[in-house]
Amino acid sequence: MNELSNEAWSGYLSSFHRMHPGITEDVLSGSRSRQGLTPYTWITAPIPLGTRVLDLACGSGPGLRSRPGEPWIGLDHSTSELARARRSGTVNVLEGDATALPFEDGSFDGVICSMALMLFQPLERALAEVRRVLVRDGLFVATVPGRRPLRVRDVARYSHLISRLGRRYLSYPNTKALSHAPTLLGGHGFELIEDVRSRFDFPISSPEAAATFVRSLYLPDVTEATLVRGEQLAARWVGTSIGIPLRRITLVRR
Protein backbone atom coordinates (compact mmCIF):
# COMPACT_ATOMS: atom_id res chain seq x y z
CA MET A 1 0.00 0.00 0.00
CA ASN A 2 1.14 3.54 -0.75
CA GLU A 3 0.59 5.00 2.72
CA LEU A 4 2.92 7.97 2.30
CA SER A 5 2.62 11.33 3.98
CA ASN A 6 1.68 14.37 1.92
CA GLU A 7 5.27 15.59 2.12
CA ALA A 8 6.65 12.25 0.94
CA TRP A 9 4.26 12.15 -2.02
CA SER A 10 5.17 15.72 -2.95
CA GLY A 11 8.87 14.94 -2.89
CA TYR A 12 8.39 11.74 -4.88
CA LEU A 13 6.34 13.45 -7.59
CA SER A 14 8.85 16.28 -7.97
CA SER A 15 11.64 13.75 -8.40
CA PHE A 16 9.59 11.54 -10.74
CA HIS A 17 8.79 14.33 -13.18
CA ARG A 18 12.32 15.72 -13.03
CA MET A 19 13.71 12.30 -13.97
CA HIS A 20 11.01 11.26 -16.45
CA PRO A 21 9.54 14.35 -18.15
CA GLY A 22 6.94 13.39 -20.73
CA ILE A 23 6.77 9.71 -19.79
CA THR A 24 3.01 9.91 -19.18
CA GLU A 25 2.56 11.46 -22.63
CA ASP A 26 4.75 8.75 -24.15
CA VAL A 27 2.37 6.06 -22.88
CA LEU A 28 -0.99 7.78 -23.26
CA SER A 29 -0.31 9.35 -26.67
CA GLY A 30 0.47 5.87 -27.97
CA SER A 31 -2.74 4.39 -26.57
CA ARG A 32 -6.08 4.13 -28.36
CA SER A 33 -9.65 3.41 -27.35
CA ARG A 34 -11.94 1.16 -29.37
CA GLN A 35 -13.20 4.35 -31.06
CA GLY A 36 -9.65 5.37 -32.04
CA LEU A 37 -9.32 8.16 -29.46
CA THR A 38 -6.25 8.90 -27.37
CA PRO A 39 -6.78 9.79 -23.71
CA TYR A 40 -6.06 13.40 -24.69
CA THR A 41 -8.71 13.64 -27.40
CA TRP A 42 -11.08 11.87 -24.99
CA ILE A 43 -10.59 14.37 -22.15
CA THR A 44 -10.98 17.37 -24.44
CA ALA A 45 -14.08 16.05 -26.24
CA PRO A 46 -16.64 17.68 -23.86
CA ILE A 47 -15.02 21.12 -24.24
CA PRO A 48 -16.65 23.38 -26.89
CA LEU A 49 -14.42 24.88 -29.56
CA GLY A 50 -13.29 28.48 -29.18
CA THR A 51 -13.53 28.61 -25.39
CA ARG A 52 -10.88 29.76 -22.92
CA VAL A 53 -9.46 26.66 -21.23
CA LEU A 54 -6.88 25.99 -18.55
CA ASP A 55 -4.99 22.70 -18.91
CA LEU A 56 -4.19 22.12 -15.25
CA ALA A 57 -1.11 19.96 -14.56
CA CYS A 58 -0.51 20.05 -18.31
CA GLY A 59 2.77 18.14 -18.09
CA SER A 60 4.58 18.05 -21.41
CA GLY A 61 1.62 19.66 -23.20
CA PRO A 62 -0.19 16.88 -25.10
CA GLY A 63 -3.64 18.18 -24.15
CA LEU A 64 -2.81 21.60 -25.55
CA ARG A 65 -1.42 20.15 -28.76
CA SER A 66 -4.58 18.08 -29.23
CA ARG A 67 -6.51 21.33 -29.79
CA PRO A 68 -4.11 23.58 -31.75
CA GLY A 69 -5.12 27.17 -32.28
CA GLU A 70 -7.47 27.23 -29.30
CA PRO A 71 -7.18 29.98 -26.61
CA TRP A 72 -5.79 27.53 -24.05
CA ILE A 73 -3.17 27.93 -21.33
CA GLY A 74 -1.22 25.15 -19.66
CA LEU A 75 0.06 25.20 -16.09
CA ASP A 76 2.31 22.70 -14.33
CA HIS A 77 4.48 22.57 -11.23
CA SER A 78 7.36 20.74 -12.96
CA THR A 79 9.94 22.82 -14.82
CA SER A 80 11.21 19.65 -16.52
CA GLU A 81 7.77 18.83 -17.92
CA LEU A 82 7.33 22.42 -19.10
CA ALA A 83 10.75 22.37 -20.76
CA ARG A 84 9.73 19.32 -22.77
CA ALA A 85 6.43 21.01 -23.65
CA ARG A 86 8.29 24.01 -25.04
CA ARG A 87 10.70 21.78 -26.97
CA SER A 88 7.61 20.23 -28.57
CA GLY A 89 6.44 23.64 -29.71
CA THR A 90 3.98 24.37 -26.91
CA VAL A 91 4.62 27.96 -25.85
CA ASN A 92 1.51 28.96 -23.87
CA VAL A 93 2.55 27.17 -20.68
CA LEU A 94 3.69 28.46 -17.32
CA GLU A 95 4.84 27.18 -13.97
CA GLY A 96 2.38 27.24 -11.10
CA ASP A 97 0.65 25.44 -8.25
CA ALA A 98 -2.83 23.91 -8.55
CA THR A 99 -3.65 25.07 -5.02
CA ALA A 100 -2.81 28.74 -5.77
CA LEU A 101 -3.66 29.45 -9.39
CA PRO A 102 -2.15 32.70 -10.77
CA PHE A 103 -5.34 33.79 -12.53
CA GLU A 104 -8.21 36.15 -11.78
CA ASP A 105 -11.67 34.91 -10.84
CA GLY A 106 -13.68 33.68 -13.83
CA SER A 107 -10.73 33.62 -16.21
CA PHE A 108 -11.74 30.41 -17.99
CA ASP A 109 -14.75 28.79 -19.61
CA GLY A 110 -13.29 25.35 -18.97
CA VAL A 111 -10.58 23.49 -17.08
CA ILE A 112 -9.16 20.10 -18.02
CA CYS A 113 -6.92 17.98 -15.80
CA SER A 114 -5.38 14.80 -17.19
CA MET A 115 -4.18 12.18 -14.70
CA ALA A 116 -3.43 14.53 -11.82
CA LEU A 117 -6.61 15.08 -9.79
CA MET A 118 -5.82 11.94 -7.76
CA LEU A 119 -2.53 13.56 -6.71
CA PHE A 120 -3.35 17.17 -5.72
CA GLN A 121 -2.75 17.97 -2.06
CA PRO A 122 -4.75 19.32 -0.41
CA LEU A 123 -7.45 18.32 -2.89
CA GLU A 124 -10.04 20.64 -1.34
CA ARG A 125 -7.87 23.69 -1.98
CA ALA A 126 -7.24 22.70 -5.59
CA LEU A 127 -10.97 22.24 -6.19
CA ALA A 128 -11.68 25.63 -4.66
CA GLU A 129 -9.13 27.22 -7.00
CA VAL A 130 -10.58 25.49 -10.06
CA ARG A 131 -14.04 26.74 -9.14
CA ARG A 132 -12.71 30.26 -8.56
CA VAL A 133 -11.11 30.60 -12.00
CA LEU A 134 -14.10 29.12 -13.84
CA VAL A 135 -17.03 31.17 -15.04
CA ARG A 136 -20.48 30.18 -13.86
CA ASP A 137 -21.59 27.06 -15.78
CA GLY A 138 -18.00 26.48 -16.87
CA LEU A 139 -16.87 22.88 -17.38
CA PHE A 140 -14.25 20.98 -15.39
CA VAL A 141 -13.17 17.72 -17.05
CA ALA A 142 -10.69 15.37 -15.36
CA THR A 143 -9.32 11.93 -16.08
CA VAL A 144 -8.00 9.63 -13.37
CA PRO A 145 -6.88 5.99 -13.32
CA GLY A 146 -9.74 3.50 -13.35
CA ARG A 147 -10.13 -0.12 -12.37
CA ARG A 148 -12.40 -1.03 -15.30
CA PRO A 149 -13.09 -1.80 -18.07
CA LEU A 150 -10.34 -4.37 -18.57
CA ARG A 151 -10.06 -7.66 -20.40
CA VAL A 152 -9.29 -10.89 -18.58
CA ARG A 153 -5.72 -10.85 -19.91
CA ASP A 154 -5.24 -7.27 -18.69
CA VAL A 155 -6.40 -8.19 -15.19
CA ALA A 156 -4.04 -11.16 -15.04
CA ARG A 157 -1.10 -9.09 -16.25
CA TYR A 158 -1.74 -6.22 -13.86
CA SER A 159 -2.09 -8.65 -10.97
CA HIS A 160 1.22 -10.32 -11.83
CA LEU A 161 3.03 -7.02 -12.46
CA ILE A 162 1.83 -5.30 -9.29
CA SER A 163 2.78 -8.36 -7.25
CA ARG A 164 6.24 -8.37 -8.90
CA LEU A 165 6.56 -4.70 -7.90
CA GLY A 166 5.82 -5.57 -4.27
CA ARG A 167 2.34 -4.04 -4.17
CA ARG A 168 -1.16 -5.31 -3.61
CA TYR A 169 -2.68 -2.58 -5.77
CA LEU A 170 -1.93 0.89 -7.11
CA SER A 171 -3.11 3.75 -4.93
CA TYR A 172 -2.86 7.55 -4.88
CA PRO A 173 -3.40 10.27 -2.27
CA ASN A 174 -7.00 10.99 -3.36
CA THR A 175 -8.15 7.51 -4.40
CA LYS A 176 -10.60 7.19 -1.53
CA ALA A 177 -11.99 10.72 -1.87
CA LEU A 178 -12.62 10.34 -5.61
CA SER A 179 -14.49 7.09 -5.08
CA HIS A 180 -17.26 9.33 -3.69
CA ALA A 181 -17.06 11.96 -6.43
CA PRO A 182 -20.68 13.26 -6.37
CA THR A 183 -20.54 13.97 -2.63
CA LEU A 184 -17.01 15.38 -2.70
CA LEU A 185 -17.46 17.61 -5.73
CA GLY A 186 -21.00 18.68 -4.92
CA GLY A 187 -19.67 20.06 -1.66
CA HIS A 188 -17.27 22.28 -3.59
CA GLY A 189 -19.77 23.94 -5.90
CA PHE A 190 -19.71 21.49 -8.80
CA GLU A 191 -22.45 19.36 -10.29
CA LEU A 192 -21.42 16.00 -11.69
CA ILE A 193 -22.87 15.65 -15.18
CA GLU A 194 -20.91 12.63 -16.45
CA ASP A 195 -18.78 9.84 -14.97
CA VAL A 196 -17.64 7.39 -17.65
CA ARG A 197 -14.90 4.85 -18.18
CA SER A 198 -12.94 3.63 -21.17
CA ARG A 199 -10.13 1.19 -21.94
CA PHE A 200 -7.13 2.42 -23.95
CA ASP A 201 -4.87 -0.11 -25.65
CA PHE A 202 -1.13 0.47 -25.27
CA PRO A 203 1.03 -1.62 -27.65
CA ILE A 204 4.05 -3.29 -26.09
CA SER A 205 6.06 -3.03 -29.29
CA SER A 206 9.54 -3.47 -27.83
CA PRO A 207 11.39 -4.03 -24.55
CA GLU A 208 11.82 -0.24 -24.40
CA ALA A 209 8.05 0.26 -24.63
CA ALA A 210 7.58 -2.31 -21.87
CA ALA A 211 10.05 -0.44 -19.67
CA THR A 212 8.38 2.90 -20.41
CA PHE A 213 5.00 1.48 -19.37
CA VAL A 214 6.36 0.18 -16.05
CA ARG A 215 8.33 3.38 -15.35
CA SER A 216 5.25 5.53 -16.05
CA LEU A 217 3.44 4.10 -13.04
CA TYR A 218 3.58 6.13 -9.83
CA LEU A 219 5.46 3.78 -7.49
CA PRO A 220 6.89 5.57 -4.46
CA ASP A 221 9.26 3.54 -2.31
CA VAL A 222 9.86 0.93 -5.04
CA THR A 223 13.56 0.21 -5.48
CA GLU A 224 15.42 0.33 -8.78
CA ALA A 225 16.03 -3.43 -8.60
CA THR A 226 12.29 -4.03 -8.18
CA LEU A 227 11.47 -1.76 -11.14
CA VAL A 228 13.92 -3.74 -13.29
CA ARG A 229 12.14 -6.96 -12.32
CA GLY A 230 8.87 -5.33 -13.39
CA GLU A 231 10.41 -4.34 -16.72
CA GLN A 232 11.63 -7.88 -17.28
CA LEU A 233 8.13 -9.21 -16.71
CA ALA A 234 6.53 -6.66 -19.05
CA ALA A 235 9.15 -7.45 -21.71
CA ARG A 236 7.54 -10.89 -22.03
CA TRP A 237 4.49 -9.13 -23.49
CA VAL A 238 6.35 -7.66 -26.49
CA GLY A 239 4.24 -8.04 -29.61
CA THR A 240 0.98 -7.70 -27.70
CA SER A 241 -0.67 -4.87 -25.79
CA ILE A 242 -2.10 -3.98 -22.39
CA GLY A 243 -5.24 -2.07 -21.53
CA ILE A 244 -5.15 1.18 -19.59
CA PRO A 245 -8.46 1.82 -17.80
CA LEU A 246 -9.34 5.48 -17.37
CA ARG A 247 -12.22 7.33 -15.75
CA ARG A 248 -13.47 10.69 -17.08
CA ILE A 249 -15.36 12.98 -14.73
CA THR A 250 -17.19 15.98 -16.22
CA LEU A 251 -18.47 18.70 -13.89
CA VAL A 252 -20.19 22.01 -14.25
CA ARG A 253 -19.48 24.93 -11.92
CA ARG A 254 -22.56 26.15 -10.09
- CB 240, CB 234: distance < 8 Å: no
Question: Phi and psi dihedrals of 193, rounded to 5?
Answer: -110, -15
The strand pairing partners of 81, in sequence order, are none
Does 212 fall in a domain?
no
Q: How many CB atoms lie within 10 A of CB 252?
A: 16
Given phi > 0 = left and psi -120 to 50 = alpha, else beta, which region is 239?
Answer: left
**What is the rounded average pLDDT of the residues 198-203?**
98
pLDDT at 136 over 60: yes
What does the alpha-carbon distance between residue 46 and residue 193 come to, in Å, rounded to a whole number?
11
pLDDT tens-place string over residues 48-60: 999 999 999 999 9
Half-sphere exposure of 137 (CA within 13 A, CB side): 2
Give the per-residue pLDDT at 2.
44
**Do residues 203 and 209 touch, judged by C-beta distance below 8 A?**
yes
Q: Is residue 150 part of a domain?
A: no
Provide the pLDDT for residue 140.
97
Give the pLDDT band of residue 189 (cuts 50, 70, 90): very high
Query: How remote is the C-alpha of 236 from its chain's centroid?
Result: 26
**What's the chain's average pLDDT?**
95
Residues 219, 165: contact at Cβ < 8 Å? Answer: yes
- Indicate the Cα dihedral angle 12, 17, 20, 26, nearest 10°: 120
What is the per-residue pLDDT across 23-55, written as a single tens digit (0 to 9) for each?
999 999 999 999 999 999 999 999 999 999 999
Position 185 scores a pLDDT of 82
Q: Which domain holds residue 136?
A: 6-145+172-199+245-253
pLDDT band at 6 (very low <50, low <70, confident <90, very high): confident
Structural domain contains residue 116? yes
Confidence check: pLDDT of 163 > 90: yes
Residue 124 belongs to a domain: yes
Q: Is residue 53 part of a domain?
A: yes
% of the chain residues with pLDDT over 90: 91
- Stretch 82-109: mean pLDDT: 96
Burial zone of 196 (CB within 10 Å; 0-12 exposed, 13-18 middle, 19+ buried): exposed
Residue 3 pLDDT class (50, 70, 90 cuts)? low
pTM equals 0.95
* Burial category of 243 from C-beta neighbours within 10 Å (exposed 0-12, middle 13-18, buried 19 and up): buried
- Measured distance CA(252)–CA(114) in Å, rounded: 17
What CATH number does the domain containing 60 carry? 3.40.50.150
Asked whether residue 129 is domain-assigned, the answer is yes
What's the confidence (pLDDT) of residue 70? 94
Residue 171's φ and ψ, nearest 5 degrees, are -145, 155
Measured between alpha carbons, how far is 146 from 85 in angstroms, rounded to an integer?
A: 26
pLDDT, average across residues 118-138: 97
The pLDDT, as a whole number, for residue 85 is 97
Number of domains in the chain: 1
Dihedral over Cα of 2, 18, 242, 195: its sign:
positive
Average pLDDT over residues 177-187: 84
Question: Cα–Cα distance between 93 and 76 in angstroms, integer?
Answer: 8
pLDDT value at residue 186: 82
135 lies in some domain: yes
100 falls in which pLDDT band (50, 70, 90)? very high
Return the minimum-mean-pLDDT range out of 95-104, 177-186, 239-248: 177-186
Answer whether residue 4 shows pLDDT above 80.
Answer: no
Whether residue 155 lies inside any domain: the answer is: no
Q: Is the pLDDT of residue 1 over 60?
A: no
Sign of CA dihedral 138, 101, 182, 173: positive
The pLDDT score that the predictor gives to residue 34 is 96
Residues 237, 156, 29, 117, CA torsion sign = negative
